[in-house]
Amino acid sequence: MAHKLDPMDLKQIISLHLDGFSNRKIASTLGIGRNTVNRYMALFKACEHDLVVLKEMDSARLDALFPLHTTIDNERFNALMLYFEKVNTARGHPGFTFLYHYVEYEQTHPDPYSYTQFMEHYNRRYAKTKGSMKLEHIAGHEMLIDFAGKKLHIVDKTTGELLSVEVYVAILPCSQYTYVEACYSQKREDFIGCTAHALSFFGGVPKAIVPDNLKSAVTRSSKYEPEINRTFKDFATHYNCVINPTRSYSPQDKALVENAVNLAYQRIYHPMRNMTFFSLQELNAEIKKHLERYNNQLFKRKNASRKELFQSIERAHLKPLPLTAYECKDYRRAKVQKIGYVYFSPEKNYYSVPFRYIGKSTLIHYTKSLVEVYYNNERIAIHSRNPAQGTYNTKKEHLSSSHQAYSDWSPDYFKRMASKHGENTLNYVSRMLGIGTYPETNYKRIIGLIQLHRAYTSTRLNTACGIALQTDSTSYKLVQNILKNKKDMNPVDDLKLNNTQSHIPPHGNTRGAKNYT
């Protein structure tokens, strides 16, 4: 195809020709093909206007006088355009290549174009010009975050193994103030930990955090309505901001952080290329040095550094950090068992909940230090996390009244109960508790003994226990019989229960112990 010149180029050709330049020298001076200059000079001479008049014409009129002149072979070109329609229908098919179709075109057409011209004409016919939008970034509005594609490394001191580590990058778009940190992985704990460190570094919280569609941030990606990871959503609630993931496969949505990653390669990775690190702490300490230098470097056009722009423009628009640091949460579902506990599977132990929730399905929220139990989005129990396996972690207020009483059973508890009914009752209960090596076996008898006061009053119970104390017995039945037979109300002063003398009066017909020797 012949080259069409801009009207300004035509005026330059005319000016140089009037100055006495040859066509060859004009072509050399303007970087235009000699044949093109020759062709336009021929057109100028054939024109009804002389060169001086042409030079003074405006661009629109000059363009109208000398339109594009093509040397295309129309039949050959038309055959190529028709073949391109066939090529376009096959573009969406897997394995498509232009080279394959060019070979086919070359074999089926008598006078084919070269492969270079084939692609040139195709790209002109189906040109895809994709514009780029200049985004205006509002101070304190967003924080863009991403992981670098290239990893750094640390050396294991014991094995000498080279361990790769991830590099986390966060940027405030308005000032381009940047934070960089190395971490072990892109897993949720490391990702959320790095994000918390970034917010602490900036000293405030933006309105939105803009992550990529990585699993630690997004449970299910979508171009229009992604599903945010529950833990990351809870993190955003703690910091009073929102999560706004970028669209899938749309790096232009976070172009600044992509550029910050590239700059991190230049300003941080490259200066450390010959250094060896034996721990993540050493690596991050070195990153911090280079990051400070990077943030203090002046922008050529703005005559200010990233840090200066942050301090003067963006910092005032950030929301304050929460008073407490965020602890990463995990979740488990559990049904409240009949005994009033939920089973916590990570450590195979149990935590109590109010007894009225027995049989209900709950959601356990847990951190490194706390275990919270929720029912219908309402927290019904909170415990300090106990790492010991197989334990029952109980709060007394969660138990029913009967269970609370049962949980209080102990020797001291029963002594306190007995003391309310008199000194004899206390002494008799103390004797009962002293029998055997396992006091729990006596608890039921003591409960029965103490409850006798309901039918016979505390005064009679205390008197009956005083009579029972004169024997060696620790029997509940003895006290019950004394009260039932009203022995406590008709005491026999001359007859002691522990007297060894026979209660049978002397008589001539009785035989004594000597008769049984």
Domain ranges in the chain are 7-65, 74-122, 142-317, 330-399, 409-484
Q: Is 33's pLDDT higher than 70?
A: yes
Closest by CA position to 203, among listed 327, 328, 322: 322
Please state the separation of Cα 458 from the chain's center in Å. 64
Mean pLDDT of 407-425: 78
Q: Is 245 exposed, middle or buried (0-12, 13-18, 19+ CB in 10 A)?
A: buried
Mean pLDDT of 136-145: 84
Closest by CA position to 40, among listed 53, 59, 29, 54: 54
Q: Is 244's pLDDT higher than 90?
A: no
- Choose the weakest-confidence range: 199-208, 250-259, 341-350, 371-380: 250-259
Percent of the chain residues past pLDDT 90, beyond the cut? 11
Mean pLDDT of 308-323: 89
Which CATH number is 142-317 given? Answer: 3.30.420.10
Mean pLDDT of 453-471: 86
Among 37-41, 100-104, 503-507, name the most confident range. Answer: 100-104
Higher pLDDT, 195 or 64: 195
Average pLDDT of the chain to the nearest whole number: 80
Mean pLDDT of 156-175: 89
CA–CA separation, 394 and 408 (whole Å) = 13
CA–CA separation, 165 and 187 (whole Å) = 12
Q: Is 133's pLDDT higher than 70?
A: no
Q: What is the dihedral of CA 281, 287, 290, 292, to 10 degrees?
A: -80
Mean pLDDT of 474-498: 72
pLDDT for the residue 408: 57
Q: Is 2's pLDDT higher than 50?
A: no
pTM: 0.52
Percent of the chain residues past pLDDT 70, beyond the cut? 83
Higher pLDDT, 2 or 122: 122
Q: Give the neighbor-by-neighbor strand order of the sheet with 378-384.
A: 330-335, 361-366, 370-375, 378-384
pLDDT for the residue 485: 84
pLDDT for the residue 70: 47
Cα 50 to Cα 5, 40, 43, 94, distances in angstroms? 19, 13, 11, 59
172 beta partners: 177
Mean pLDDT of 133-141: 72
Main-chain dihedrals φ then ψ at residue 224, nearest 5 degrees? -115, -30
Q: Which residues contact 380 (CB under 8 A, 6 or more apart)?
A: 353, 354, 357, 362, 373, 374
CA–CA separation, 101 and 99 (whole Å) = 5
Per-residue pLDDT band at 407 (split at 50, 70, 90): low
Q: Is 450's pLDDT higher than 50?
A: yes
CA–CA separation, 343 and 333 (whole Å) = 9
Per-residue pLDDT band at 286 (split at 50, 70, 90): very high
Q: Is 114's pLDDT higher than 50?
A: yes
Q: Is 136's pLDDT higher than 80?
A: no
pLDDT tens, residue by residue, 63-82 = 777 665 444 556 787 888 88
pLDDT for the residue 135: 59
Q: Is 87's pLDDT higher than 70?
A: yes
Q: Is 241's pLDDT higher than 70?
A: yes
pLDDT for the residue 213: 77
Q: Is 12's pLDDT higher than 90?
A: no
Q: Is 172 exposed, middle or buried (0-12, 13-18, 19+ CB in 10 A)?
A: buried
